[in-house]
A = this chain, B = another copy of it.
Amino acid sequence: MRYPNGQKKEYKKANISYGNRGMELEAAINETNEFYRLTKKALIYKKPTPITVSKVNYKSRFEAVITEAYYKTPSTTDYNGVYKGYYIDFEAKETRNKSFPLANIHAHQIEHLKQVIEHKGISFLIISFVKEQEIYLLKTEDLLNITKRKSIPLSYIKEKGYKLEEGYNPRIDYLKIVDQIIEEEA
């Protein structure tokens, strides 16, 4: 395991809670993005989790402790950045089901992905099917064709999406697929 002891323990604990499901895919993508940044391939970051701060205790002028805060519904997606001049924007989700439940992604996040392509950016969904141990990239264009359903069947994703193979470094080389998308659309 790549985590130092303390962190690993916290990771396990965090994983129990509902809000932190899907941490494994997130960790893999964060490592991938770090690899992309270190190798100067792309500049893609996970956005901070949106939090509404209610109470702050100013111990001193420079030291603030937040004592009451709440998780907010995100208005955009988790990841964005720049690759070869292209604006990249995506959301990553895990599921233990055999189809991807659309309840797992907020309606305004789908709307955001749609707006990205209207502004000539590249946007997509990365979906990890945990039980099948398969990860796919699904372009927003192919996601929008199916949002009237309650879930996206794995068969549809296999047909329209791009399979992402897990490796060592980068762990999930999704930019290889982005290159393919750029070429297909050129």
Contacts and interface: CB of A to CB of B under 8 A. Distances in A.
Contacts of A53: 49, 51, 69
Interface stretch (A56-64, A152-160, A163-171): A56-64
B121 A82 contact: yes
Contacts of A65: 68-70
B85 A121 contact: yes
Interface in A32-76: 37, 40, 42-43, 45, 47-51, 53, 56, 58, 61-62, 64-72, 74-76
Nearest to A75: B45
Contact of A76 (B45, B50, B86, B121): B45
A115 interface: yes
A84 interface: yes
A81 interface: yes
A104 interface: no
A61 to B, nearest CB: 6
11 contacts: A40-B118, A48-B72, A49-B53, A51-B53, A65-B68, A66-B70, A67-B68, A80-B81, A82-B120, A84-B119, A86-B87
